Amino acid sequence: MAPCFTILVADDNRLNRTIMAKTLSKEGYRIVTADSGLEARKIAEKDPPDLILLDICMPGESGFDVIKHFKSHASTASIPVIFLTALSDVDSKVEGFNLGAVDYITKPCNHQELSARVRLHLKLSIATNSLINSQAEKLRQLTEAQASFLITPGQEPGAQFGVHYMALHEAGGDFYDVLHISDDIYGYFVADFSGHDISTGYLTSSVKGLLNQNCNQIYTPMESMNLINGVLVEILPTEKYLTACYARLNRRKGIMDIVFSGHPPVCYVPKKAPPRLVGADGDPMGIFKNAIFGVTALTVSEGDRIYIYTDGLVESPSTKRIWCSGTDKMLDACDRARCLPVRQAPQFVSHCLCPNRETQEDDMVILAMEV
């Protein structure tokens, strides 16, 4: 059965409502009417129509007030609104368009014009929704593809790690991996790509392949990052780069070597001492062939923890907060997470630093490993 499109006609003039309702009913549309802005809002919120014909001049709430309400609520924001106006001044028409109206019709309405404009904007709405759904499906597939190669703690229990990953959009720009180099040696990699478009999502698979090829016992962590950087310089688009942190833990020796590539410092939480930040300056990856990376080494003991994270966890572009301003909060959260299993600790720390997901401004990854 073909869909029956619903049109809401909101006009305080009964005769206008009746004429438009009869005209459009003859075209096969389902018509609902409202004699005020308040009633129009209630109807649209309860049963969103496919298109709204909205009078500008109504007592109480004007059409401008009503469309502001529609556009500020998710359930009605995408419904096309055609203004009905007896006004001929350009300013009113421009204001209507600026508020989100797709068209206007001057009253009294010509029956043929009314039908034609309604038909046109329903077609455009269908096409737009189809495009949005198609793109959303592609992004869902990309999200699933990304998730399929992000390792979980259960897949590599010997690595003794936990991770919390929150993408801002479907195509996340942050990436992490855990590498089983030998029985006593594991590598932990966290990176943040510039940009959050679809191409970024595909580039993460390339980085994962490079990590598997170049992170082993033969190369030092610095050598591994230099090899990967050499390839990234050749394959990344001009505007793309990534900051990264690669930590290699040798449990037998009790040493963790850490390479920094323009990345925030790690949070080191010794089992029997206060937490502290450990970092080093370094160039981002994928820009310079002869990039200079920062490197440091930690002597670690059983029970110590190290947290690697991306800057989305500690920075806020809107408030101009940079990572160093959140140092105390980060250290406190990691200190409080001592009593939790390592698999649960990253989510706890993330919640402490970003308790409201709606205020998230960037992708976030926080990975914790325990010696």
pLDDT in tens, 274-305: 999 999 999 999 998 889 999 999 999 999 99
Is the pLDDT reported for residue 197 higher than 60?
no
Tell me whether residue 190 is in a domain. yes
Work out the burial of residue 29: count CB atoms within 10 Å of its CB; fewer than 13 is exposed, 13-18 middle, 19 or more buried. Answer: buried
- Mean pLDDT lowest for which of 5-14, 98-107, 312-321? 312-321
Is the pLDDT reported for residue 319 higher than 50?
no
Same domain, 154 and 134: no
Going by pLDDT thresholds of 50, 70 and 90, the confidence category of residue 316 is low
Same domain, 200 and 298: yes
Same domain, 97 and 196: no
Quick: pLDDT tens for 174-196.
Answer: 889 999 999 899 999 999 887 65
Same domain, 169 and 285: yes
Measured CA distances, 10 to 40, 41, 75, 80, 348 (Å): 6, 10, 18, 14, 49
Same domain, 297 and 241: yes
Looking at per-residue pLDDT, the higher value among 197 and 167 belongs to: 167
Pairs from 142-145 (Cβ < 8 Å, separation ≥ 24)? 142/170, 142/171, 142/198, 142/201, 142/202, 143/167, 143/170, 143/171, 143/172, 143/201, 145/201, 145/205
Tell me whether residue 144 is in a domain. no
Range of the structural domain that residue 329 is part of: 149-370
Sign of CA dihedral 319, 322, 323, 325: negative
Q: What is the CATH number of the domain that holds 49?
A: 3.40.50.2300
Helix 221-235 and helix 198-214: axis angle, to 10°?
A: 140
Same domain, 219 and 354: yes
Is the pLDDT reported for residue 363 higher than 80?
no
Q: How far apart are CA 185 and CA 104, in angstroms?
A: 68
Same domain, 159 and 15: no
271: how many CB neighbours lie within 10 A of its CB? 13
Q: How far apart are CA 160 and CA 368, in angstroms?
A: 9
Task: State the residue for tokens 């096969």.
Answer: 28
The pLDDT of residue 42 is: 93
Task: State the residue for tokens 């300013």.
Answer: 91
Q: Which residue type does 165 have?
A: Y
Same domain, 273 and 131: no
Go through the chain and tell me how many residues it has.
Answer: 371
Is the pLDDT reported for residue 199 higher than 60?
no
End-to-end CA distance of the chain: 63
Q: End of a domain among 94, 119, 139?
A: 139
Tell me whether residue 262 is in a domain. yes
Average confidence score pLDDT of the chain: 85
Q: How far apart are CA 308 and CA 299, in angstroms?
A: 17
Helix 90-98 and helix 63-71: axis angle, to 10°?
A: 20
Same domain, 13 and 119: yes
Tell me whether residue 192 is in a domain. yes
Tell me whether residue 1 is in a domain. no
Same domain, 91 and 222: no
Q: Domain count of the chain?
A: 2
C-alpha neighbours within 13 Å on the C-beta side of residue 246: 28
Same domain, 220 and 312: yes
The answer to whether the CB of 80 falls within 8 A of the CB of 34 is no
Q: What are phi and psi of 23, to 5 degrees?
A: -60, -45
The pLDDT of residue 348 is: 94
- 189 Cβ neighbours under 8 A, 6+ residues apart: 175, 176, 177, 178, 179, 211, 215, 244, 245, 246, 247
The answer to whether the CB of 58 falls within 8 A of the CB of 37 is yes
Q: End of a domain among 114, 139, 164?
A: 139
Is the pLDDT reported for residue 323 higher than 70?
no
